[in-house]
Amino acid sequence: MRHLDRKSIERLGQAFRQAFYERRRIEFKPSEFWIVGVMSEIRRIGRLNAEIDFWTLFEKMIWKFIPAAVALVLLLSVAFTQIDPAPENIIANIYGEENLDSGLYAFYDQ
């Protein structure tokens, strides 16, 4: 397939626009000769390559899972920042405060 320059693209777009606007005025009934020509061109092109390799299928499938994976990573990163990495400090603080409180209560209960 050859690449088109900007001027060719503009001319092609103008031709398509004109054909689109005049689509109702022009009545096209294909002749038998035209149909045979089109079908022979299709036969000349041949079959499409329907063989799809593993990596093409893998690429299509992986792009469907990427948004869910990114959302899961963000959710887990937020959750892990909220979790204390050393829960034994919390347990030690509970026992330490309990001993202090019971000692103070014993002092005032006399």
Domain boundaries, the chain: 6-45, 54-108
- pLDDT (tens digit per residue) in 5-18: 788 888 888 988 88
- List all residues 6 or more positions away from 2 whose beta carbon is below 8 Å from its beta carbon: none
Q: Which of 11-20, 42-51, 56-65, 74-83 has the lowest mean pLDDT?
A: 42-51
Q: Which of 8-22, 27-41, 74-88, 93-107 has the lowest mean pLDDT?
A: 93-107
Report pLDDT for 1: 45
Structure tokens, 63: 């792009």
- Dist. CA 59–CA 90, nearest whole Å: 47
Q: Which residue has the tokens 């061109």?
A: 41
DSSP 2: P
Report pLDDT for 44: 87
| pLDDT at 3 exceeding the cut of 50 | yes
- pLDDT (tens digit per residue) in 73-96: 999 999 888 876 676 777 777 766
